[in-house]
Structure 1
Amino acid sequence: MIDRDYCVTMARYNRWQNDQLETLLGALGSADLTQDRGAFFGSMLGTVNHIFWGDMMWMSRFDGGAGPEQPASESAQVFPTLAAWAAERFRLDGRIRQWALGIHAVDLAGNLTWYSGSAGREVTAPMGQLVVHFFNHQTHHRGQVHAMLTATGSKAPVSDLFLMPEQT
Structure 2
Amino acid sequence: MISPEYVREMARYNQWQNKQLQAMMSGLNDDVLFQHRGAFFGSIMATANHLLWTDQLWLSRFDVMPAPEDDSAMGAELTSSFSEWEIMRFRTDVATQQWAEKLRAIDLTGELSWFSSVYGQRFCTPKWVCVANMFNHQTHHRGQLHMMLTAIGCESMVTDLFLLPEGA
- Asked if these proteins are the same fold (TM beyond 0.5), I'd say yes
Q: CA–CA distance in 2 between the matches of 1:125 and 1:72? A: 25
Say what the alpha-carbon RMSD is for the aligned residues. Answer: 1.1
Please state how far the C-alpha of 1:29 moved relative to its aligned partner: 1.9
Task: Calculate the TM-score normalised by the size of structure 1.
Answer: 0.96
Instruction: Work out whether 1:98 is the aligned partner of 2:98.
Output: yes
Q: CA–CA distance in 2 between the matches of 1:117 and 1:83? A: 28
Map of 1:160 onto structure 2: 160
What amino acid is aligned across from residue 164 of structure 1 in structure 2?
A: L
What amino acid is aligned across from residue 133 of structure 1 in structure 2?
A: N
1:119-168 superposed Cα distances (whole Å, 9 cap, x missing partner): 21211011111101000111100000000011101112211111111111
- The 8 Å contact of residues 64 and 99 in structure 2, kept in 1 or not, is answered as no
- The 8 Å contact of residues 72 and 118 in structure 1, kept in 2 or not, is answered as no
CA change 1:166–1:110 in 2 (3 A) is same
Task: Calculate the TM-score normalised by the size of structure 2.
Answer: 0.96
Map of 1:36 onto structure 2: 36
* Percent of residue pairs identical: 46
1:71-82 map, 5 Å: 71-82=71-82
CA change 1:132–1:79 in 2 (3 A) is same
Secondary structure class of the residue paired with 1:132: helix
- The 8 Å contact of residues 45 and 82 in structure 2, kept in 1 or not, is answered as yes
Q: How many residues are matched?
A: 168
- The 8 Å contact of residues 34 and 45 in structure 2, kept in 1 or not, is answered as yes
Q: After TM superposition, which residue ranges in structure 1, 4 or more long, deviate above 4 angstroms?
A: none
Q: CA–CA distance in 2 between the matches of 1:137 and 1:72? A: 19
CA change 1:131–1:72 in 2 (3 A) is farther
